[in-house]
Structure formats: structure tokens, C-alpha cells
Amino acid sequence: MGAVFALFAAFYYWTPALRNRNTLLWVKLSNSGNTLKLIVPSYILKFISGWINHSCKVTSYKIDENLMGYRGSKSDLILKSVKEQRVDGSSWIQTIHVRCTLMGFERNYPLKILSKQLNIKQFSTLNTKAKLNPWFVTGLIDGEGTFSISIMKDKEYKLAWKVRSVFQIALHSRELSLLLELQAFFGGIGSISQSKSHNMVIYSVAGIKDLKTIIIPHFENYYLLTQKAADFMLFTKIVELMSNNAHLTIEGLHKIINIKASMNWGISEMLKSEFKNITPVDRPIVITSTLSNPNWLAGFVSGEGCFDIDISKSKSTSIGHRVQLRFRIKQHERDIKLMELLIKYLGSGKIYKDPKLPKLELKIVKISNITKIIIPFFEINPLLGVKQLDFLDWCKVANLISEGSHLTNEGLEKIRIIKSGMNTGRKLTKF
């Protein structure tokens, strides 16, 4: 029997295997027994020297499961995601309670897919095993986070008003993995909930102690760059008042309402009718003169950026269509100075104002700027979440354009197929 297994092992490790019409040589790795890693292509090198492999091909090293012990992992998607991580013992992820015990072979697991315990149908499993960069976190919150104060009637309170301070970020439900990483970054505090009606997952921190000792210190050290920084400053004042129980007195409640009146969208008509003589405090003026760290931009774009492809009819091309790559960031017009700073920082782009709404759009479409500035930047400072997949597909099209394939019917059809699976057209694995 031992001789048979030895023969099988020799065949398994040294026989070329045909995968997608490419011959791969299976070898036993020098780091056998360590956690397995995936190899992702570098787009910088591909644009310098041309594509040496199939477009965006990812090569993964594999090894016999019996030899992995408890330190290996089995990859199921590209970009460093794992189907399961072998661990000793078990633990629980706070709030949504994902049990992490794995036992023996996969066929013996009580649940084949751990994510089924979340009752969430679709989400991204893209993540990095390393802790999130703190500037990336701030950039992501600058794009998608909120600092809010809710004041609601509640007869159980002495003043019949309940005050709640909440730090929150809401993303598409496919981004659950990214929110779990964010929660881990902040030490596991807060909760993650799901809004099925909006197909969103929401990470919230409302405990005064957690806000004072973890959330607020982070943004004091790694400061926000958008006008959201003003909301954060006012939010911090209210948290301080609440930590001293000021919200339990009528005088303190009025102070909080006056501060809230200058935050975000102000106060509701209901509060205006209930509380007279409201005097909004001065809203802090935020002036951003420098971009603190490139990871901030990676986080900001992971939330607010867009990598898309425009295909339009054109009489100037032989095939009657024009292909244009677009990198875009949209913001409220109050952040015009920040948008101008981003153009200066990237050395490219133009700002367009919405004719009807108070919105701005930074847009970069010149192919040389895309291949020489934007793509290399996000190779060095990677995006996270589903946005990374859109970026990779975008890079495939950039390569086709650099080869001139977009000027042929065959190349145009390839681009159409890639475009159809990006952004809102992307379908991730359903569980």
C-alpha cells in the first residue's frame, strides 16, 4: 500500500496537468507546511514589458491536503481569499456570531459554507490577512462613513428624550468581508447588521466608552480630509457631553441639539417644533492642504471611486465605436478644495460640476494617464473589496487598448463582455 501511495504522490507532484489549455507543472513547495499564498500578476510590469501570461491570470500553488496540517488554507477565489482557514479550537465573531470551528475533512463539517450562518446571500470574500492600514480606514470612512446623533422621544427616560451617538458605515451586502476586517481593526467593538430592503450591511459603534477610547482617538491621529471632519469635531463634543451625563439634563439636551443643528443635514422638523430658540453652533471650517498618506486615497476610492468603461458610436473609427476608460470620483461641492488637491496629487484629471445638483465629479480619461499614473498607483496602494475586482477588469481593458485590440470587432466584443460583468453587472458567488 505504501508503494502505491508513493507512486501516486510522485505522479501528483511531478506530472504536468492541463488546465485551461495551459500546461502547469505541479511541484512540492519549499515552504510546504506553511500557509499557502496566491500569486497575483503585477500590472506595472505588464504595462512595461507586455503580458507574458493569459490576461489577469492568477497562479496558485496547491498541495496534498493530508500534508497541510493545521497551517494551510484552501483558496476558492483570487486575491488572497480563502474557502476556510484551518484552526485549532473555536471562536465567535461578535454580534453576528459566525462559528469558526473546522473539524477534519470538509465533508464532516456541520455546515459546508460558514457564511450560511449569516443568512446573507451575496458578499465579497476579498480580504487581506494583514491588519488594515489606519490611513486606509480613514479614507474609507471619509468616503462612506457617518458620525451622527439621533434624538428621539422615549417615555422611559426622565426627560422623555433619548440621545444616541453613532459612528457608522454602510456598504453593499457583498462587502461583508471588508466590514468584518474593519470591525477587527477596531478591536471587535460595535455590531454588524443587515438591511435586506436596501441590500446593505452596516457596521455601527454606539457605546460611549468605545467611541471615546477607540473611535475618536483613531480619527484624531489619522484625521479626516473631507468636510466630514467638521461633523466629527462636533460629534466629539456631543460624546464628551454624554460621557458626563449632560444629555440627562434639559440644559445639556439643549446644548446637544444646538450642536446637532450644525451637523450633517441639521435637525428634523419634529425637533424644531418641540424645541424653540435653537441656536446652531458655528460649524468648524476644514481646510485640507496636503494629502497625508497614499493609503488614504486607496481607502477613499474603495468607497467613492468608480472604474468604468464607456463604449459609444463614433464615425472616426473603422468599426464605428469608440472605447474610453474612465476613473471617476464624485463628491459634494463643498469639497471642491479636496478635489482640486487630488488633481494636483495625481497630476491628472478635470472637475465637472453637476448642472442641477450640488455635486462634483473628478474624471480621468486620458489613456496615458491611466496606464502611467492610475494603474501603477493602485498596484502599489491596493484597493479592497469588490472595487478591486472592477479595477482588475478595468486593467484588462487597458491592456487591450494598449495593444490596439479595441479597434477590431473581436477586441471590441471582448471589451463588451468584460464591461458587462463590472460594477452593477458583477455577479459574485452566491451562498
Greatest mean pLDDT among 40-44, 132-136, 156-160: 132-136
Instruction: Specify the higher pLDDT residue, 139 or 13.
Output: 139
Query: In 153-293, which residue ranges form alpha helices assigned H by DSSP?
Result: 176-185, 208-210, 216-221, 228-243, 250-260, 269-274
End-of-domain residue from the set 51, 86, 121: 86
Same domain, 140 and 267: yes
Quick one: cell of 58?
A: 492568477
User: CA 296, CA 287: separation in Å to the nearest integer?
Assistant: 16
Residue matched to cell numbers 487591450? 400
Same domain, 341 and 244: no
Q: Which residues are bridge partners to 313 per DSSP?
A: 321
170, pLDDT greater than 50: yes
Instruction: Specify the higher pLDDT residue, 51 or 327.
Output: 327
Greatest mean pLDDT among 37-51, 65-79, 186-200: 186-200
Which domain covers residue 194, as residue numbers?
134-274
Same domain, 45 and 165: no
Instruction: Specify the higher pLDDT residue, 23 or 135.
Output: 135
Q: Is residue 121 part of a domain?
A: no
pLDDT band (50, 70, 90) for residue 197: confident
Q: Report whether 360 contacts 353 (CB < 8 A).
A: yes
Q: Is residue 4 part of a domain?
A: no
77, pLDDT greater than 60: no
Q: What is the pTM of this model?
A: 0.70
User: Cα–Cα–Cα angle for 335, 340, 342, nearest 5°?
Assistant: 95
The whole-number average pLDDT for the span 367-393 is 96
Q: Is residue 254 part of a domain?
A: yes
The per-residue pLDDT for 426 is 87
CATH of residue 262: 3.10.28.10
Instruction: Specify the higher pLDDT residue, 92 or 161.
Output: 161
Cα dist. 382→128, 132, 188, 251, 289 in Å?
A: 10, 11, 24, 48, 24
The per-residue pLDDT for 391 is 97
Domain count, the chain: 3
The per-residue pLDDT for 121 is 39
The whole-number average pLDDT for the span 317-330 is 95
Residue matched to cell numbers 424645541? 275
pLDDT band (50, 70, 90) for residue 63: very low
Q: Taking the C-alpha atoms of 35, 38, 39 and 41 in order, what is their torsion angle to the nearest 10 degrees?
A: -150
Q: Report whether 228 contacts 145 (CB < 8 A).
A: yes
